[in-house]
Amino acid sequence: MVFIYTTCPDVKSAKRIGESLLKKRLAACCNYWSIQSSYRWKDKIQHDREAALLIKTIKKHIDRAKRLIEERHPYKAPCIAVLSAKQFNAKYKKWLTSECR
């Protein structure tokens, strides 16, 4: 299993990306939550409310999922980070792989 993490301007846009991934079976599950972020943009420190999006998928879907996120993402330079899960339970793995085809 791999996790793909990105942030969006709001939960609505995060859900839009997540739903697209789920419909194409590029993800088995997506989690969304509100966050507060601080970052540098155009030589200034910005403080904004955003939404985090955590996508649970399988290794073979990484490239296609990243492309879809980039195509639908409203940010010019979104963070799209891929994290590998070293261990997880067998029942979850079975469910995840059955949903990501």
Q: Which domain does 62 fall in, by range? A: 2-88
pTM over 0.85: yes
Inside any domain, residue 95: no
Quick check: is 21 in a domain? Answer: yes
Residue 100 is assigned to a structural domain of this protein: no
Q: Domain of 53: which CATH number?
A: 3.30.70.120
Residue 99 lies inside a defined structural domain of this protein: no
What residue ranges in the chain does DSSP mark as E strands?
Answer: 2-8, 29-41, 44-57, 81-84
Report residue 89 as tokens. Answer: 């339970």
Q: Classify residue 81: in a domain, yes or no.
A: yes
Instruction: Let me know if residue 41 belongs to a domain.
Output: yes
Tens of pLDDT, residue by residue, the chain (101 residues): 999 999 999 999 999 999 999 999 999 999 999 999 999 989 999 999 999 999 999 999 999 999 999 999 999 999 999 999 989 899 999 999 999 98
- How many domains, the chain? 1
